Amino acid sequence: MGIFYFNKRDLKERTIHEGYIGLKIEYRGIGIGTLARQYAIKHFAKTGYLKGISSRISLDNVASLKGNMKLGFEIKEKYWDKEENKERAYLECDLSQYR
């Protein structure tokens, strides 16, 4: 399951935010999540308006971070999330590489 939405920063920067990607435990690690996200990225790349996709990931979530980097996401900033008590990263994927 994937949830994408627009927040204020995304509207300003012409990106869409990848809010949640989830797979049942038994389906993790075999490429299904990557394929689903590739499909979503290619779909959003078809729009002439969007420049990219944004995401936020806890740095201790190595699997998600690795998957995002494989798809072309780059860390734009790191910050401390007081609510989660974790270091997190804000990432962006430039859609031009999928056009």
Closest listed residue to residue 37, CA positions, set 3, 7, 14, 60:
3
Which domains does the chain show, CATH number per domain? 2-98 (3.40.630.30)
Quote the pLDDT of residue 13.
96
Assign 89 a pLDDT band (cuts: 50, 70, 90): very high
Burial label for 37, CB within 10 Å (0-12, 13-18, 19+), is buried
Question: pTM to 2 decimals?
Answer: 0.89
User: What is the rounded distance in angstroms from the CA atom of residue 18 to the CA atom of residue 91?
Assistant: 10
User: What is the rounded distance in angstroms from the CA atom of residue 38 to the CA atom of residue 63?
Assistant: 16
User: What is the rounded distance in angstroms from the CA atom of residue 26 to the CA atom of residue 38?
Assistant: 20
